Amino acid sequence: MQKHKSIKKMDSNLRIIISGGGTGGHIFPAISIANAIKAKHPDAQILFVGALGRMEMQRVPAAGYEIKGLPICGFDRKHLLKNIVVLFKIWKSQHMAKKIIKDFKPMAAVGVGGYASGPTLNQCAAMGIPCLIQEQNSYAGVTNKLLAKKASKICVAYEGMDRFFPADKIIMTGNPVRQNVLQTDITKEEARKAFGLEPDKKTILVVGGSLGARTVNESIINHLDIVENADVQIIWQTGKYYNKAIMDTLAQHKPIKNLKVMDFISDMGAAYRAADLVISRAGASSISEFCLIGKPVILVPSPNVAEDHQTKNALALVNKDAALYVKDIEAPDTLLDTALKTVNDEAKLASLSENIKKLGLKNSADVIADEVIKLATGK
């Protein structure tokens, strides 16, 4: 620990390493925490450590922060021989992380889950640098479970996380969310007009994440006749990956006035405001947004995620009557029908909104930033 104390005395500017990524659900909270630290300490130096070739290598510089990449990847459970290369990459990443830490001399480290946070926080802990981990999901990720013993603080968003982590280290903070989602000043009617829709008609927002969700998209494209005849409007974010095939299919169909299709929605705050009901995957960041704005939602958990954590996220809400849940395999047949029934049930919408809002935790990034600063300064 002596080494760490001498680092603190060198100068008063905070130096923080933030590590992790792989998906938007890891990267967005990381950037939010960095922004919150900067707001409190404008002179703070913040260095990100990510995995080469992953999304964070573009997203973090775009947010104005420096990032170093490690050549790390996950184990290949199907092709075991390939794991010899993986083991080498882990070994190399540990050595690179050690050099990055020695050069940067951080006063605290933050891990948000994802491959890179493993070697980075392992090395920080070995060098006596206090570590905080942030777990977004209701079912802890492998990397965070392994790092828990070495962490000083563990910030979580769900109850019952002491089944994964030591109870005395846990702080219930919630997940940081996109500020433009919370700071939308326009009315529901104005939001609908902005999407070229009627201001007074019931509206459903369908989102499958930035890349899209095949089964969620199928639930709409397979039932265009029902969409066309429904007395509701639908804003449909297809995701960039699926957009061309969907637009080609729609081109063969007569125009549907009550269906607004786009590959990506940049202003999610306006989209949420326009909607009476949302259909979404059950990623931790999205759920945190729904909780804070009190938005009724039908969750369709992705089956293609580690430890089926999206289903566990969804059930944490369903068990409190705070969301509806449709299984991915059933979505193409039942999702649209469930949504149309729900959006016209005022009592159901009101109870879903009231119950989900009770689960929202405000100012999460600020609370986490305060904990990081305390660790860094020893106060």
Model confidence at 210: pLDDT above 80:
no
* CATH node for 2-174+363-377: 3.40.50.2000
| Mean pLDDT of all residues in 12-26 | 86
| Mean pLDDT of all residues in 151-180 | 92
Strands 259-262 and 233-237: parallel
Using pLDDT thresholds of 50, 70 and 90, give the confidence band for residue 4.
very low
| Mean pLDDT of all residues in 43-71 | 92
Region for 38 from its dihedrals, namely left if φ exceeds 0, alpha if ψ lies in -120 to 50, beta otherwise: alpha
Question: Can you tell me whether residue 259 is helix, strand or coil?
Answer: strand
Two structure tokens written together for 21: 């990524």
Model confidence at 2: pLDDT above 50:
no
pLDDT number for residue 108: 98
178 vs 156, more confident: 156
What stretch(es) of the chain map to CATH 3.40.50.2000?
A: 2-174+363-377, 180-357
CATH topology of domain 180-357: Rossmann fold (3.40.50)
Segments in the chain forming alpha helices (H) = 2-10, 24-40, 56-62, 83-104, 117-126, 142-147, 179-182, 188-194, 214-221, 224-229, 240-251, 268-274, 284-293, 309-318, 331-343, 346-357, 364-377
**What percent of the chain is modeled with pLDDT above 90?**
64
Model confidence at 11: pLDDT above 60:
no
Model confidence at 79: pLDDT above 70:
no
Q: Which of 205, 336, 347, 358 lies closest to 276, judged by CA?
A: 205
Model pLDDT for residues 116-133, shown as the tens digit of each residue = 899 999 999 999 999 999
Residue 259 one-letter amino acid: L
CA distance 373 to 219: 46
Using pLDDT thresholds of 50, 70 and 90, give the confidence band for residue 6.
very low
Phi–psi pair at 134, nearest 5 degrees: -115, 120
Crossing angle for the helix pair 117-126 and 83-104, to the nearest 10 degrees: 50
